[in-house]
Amino acid sequence: MLCYTDHPDNKTPLHEFLSLQKNRPILPSEFTEAIPTYVSEIKKSIQRDYDHKHQTFKCRIMPISVSSHVYGYIVIFQTVRKLTEVDNLALEHGSTILARISCTENTSWSIW
């Protein structure tokens, strides 16, 4: 994980249901293995339910990818409110920007 931010109105802070320990997976493998691998066809965020201690959280996942190479994911837990259309557009835009940055940095690293 690169970073995370909790909304001030979040009554269920992320650290209460995610494993935020250094060098450890944040999400359980059952959750991450359920993410589709055909990312080149994904145009909208993927919606999943995340279950923890008898609570279900709606979650949006947007791959950060170029072609079929996945650099990572943006994951948003809807613990405060549902995402709006503007939120979804921002998520898609952010994913595109991060993919371009990752692609550029990856290209630079392979040149050196």
Supply the pLDDT for residue 40: 66
More confident of the two residues 39 and 16: 16
Supply the pLDDT for residue 1: 64
Concatenated DSSP letters of 15-76:
GGTS---TTS-SS-HHHHHTS-S-GGG--SPEEEEEEETTEEEEEEEEEEEETTEEEEEEEE
Order the strands of the 55-66 sheet from edge to edge.
46-52, 55-66, 69-78
Burial degree of 64 (CB within 10 A; 0-12, 13-18, 19+): buried
pLDDT in tens, 40-72: 667 778 888 888 778 888 888 888 887 777 788
pLDDT in tens, 75-102: 888 888 888 999 989 988 988 888 888 7
Enter the pTM of the model: 0.76
More confident of the two residues 94 and 17: 94
